[in-house]
Amino acid sequence: MLRAVFARTLKPGVTDEQFIQAWLPQGLVADSYPSAVTVSHGITDDRQIISIFEVDAAAQDLPDVLASLVHPDSTNRLAEVVESTQLEAVFEDTSTFGSRQPLGKSAAG
């Protein structure tokens, strides 16, 4: 499993939908995207986002699957909605542990 991680600052007023449409390959909608994606906004600045793509592929296969993950003109399209990119990296899972249990008073309801 690969995880592509991007830390970005969106331009003022850009929505998640606009951001997603900038990199989504032609002919695909979010529900048919071949990778699980999480977009998270900063809790103190909602223009700061982290996007994490979970790609079920080995590192050596990434060049072959990349075309199914990004629009051919994604660099220019993203430039229209993204102010800056602070981190752009791909990682390969080597171990996992723990569970996603709710923590804190607000998580308990």
Q: Which amino acid is at 64?
A: D
- Domain count for the chain, please give it: 1
In a domain, 104, yes or no: no
Q: How many helices (H) and strands (E) does the chain have?
A: 4, 4
CATH code (residue 50): 3.30.70.100
In a domain, 37, yes or no: yes
Tokens of 40: 């998270």
In a domain, 101, yes or no: no
In a domain, 108, yes or no: no
Contact 39, 51 (CB under 8 A): yes
Per-residue pLDDT tens for 71-95?
A: 889 899 999 999 999 999 999 999 9
Tokens of 58: 């080995």
In a domain, 100, yes or no: no
For residue 52, what are the domain limits?
Answer: 2-93
The confidence score (pLDDT) of residue 108 equals 54
Contact 81, 37 (CB under 8 A): no
pTM: 0.83
Per-residue pLDDT tens for 10-66?
A: 999 999 999 999 989 888 888 888 899 999 999 999 999 999 999 999 899 988 888
